Amino acid sequence: MARTPAWRDHGPTITVWPPDRFEVRCDFPPPDFTVADRYHYAEFAYEAARRHREVGWAQAVQVVRLSDGGVVFDLASAHELPLDTW
């Protein structure tokens, strides 16, 4: 019977990255359709949404705060909260 190596018996690994707080949702024309990326930092989510808006390929861009489901950025409805309130 094979013995489990000692390095595999130390329990679950600990993540060093903080949990995700924002989801950036984008709708693209076919064949790409919908893409959703998650970010912990508001600055990174804002930058991703801004880049999608500037490039112009996305038909819809929306940033959702995962803690309460609040929409903090929505390209289709021209809704954009200031970054410091995200």
Q: What confidence tens digit (pLDDT) does each residue in 38-50 have?
A: 999 999 999 999 9
- Has residue 36 been placed in a domain? yes
Q: What are the DSSP E strand ranges found in the chain?
A: 22-27, 34-39, 60-65, 71-74, 79-80
- Has residue 28 been placed in a domain? yes
pLDDT at 18: 84
- Has residue 64 been placed in a domain? yes
Please give the Cα distance from 76 to 38 (Å, whole number).
20
- Domains held by the chain: number: 1
Which tokens is 57 given?
């390929």
- Has residue 9 been placed in a domain? no
Look up the domain containing 68 and give its range. 18-81
- Has residue 40 been placed in a domain? yes
Please give the Cα distance from 81 to 31 (Å, whole number).
31
Does residue 59 register a pLDDT over 80?
yes
- Has residue 2 been placed in a domain? no
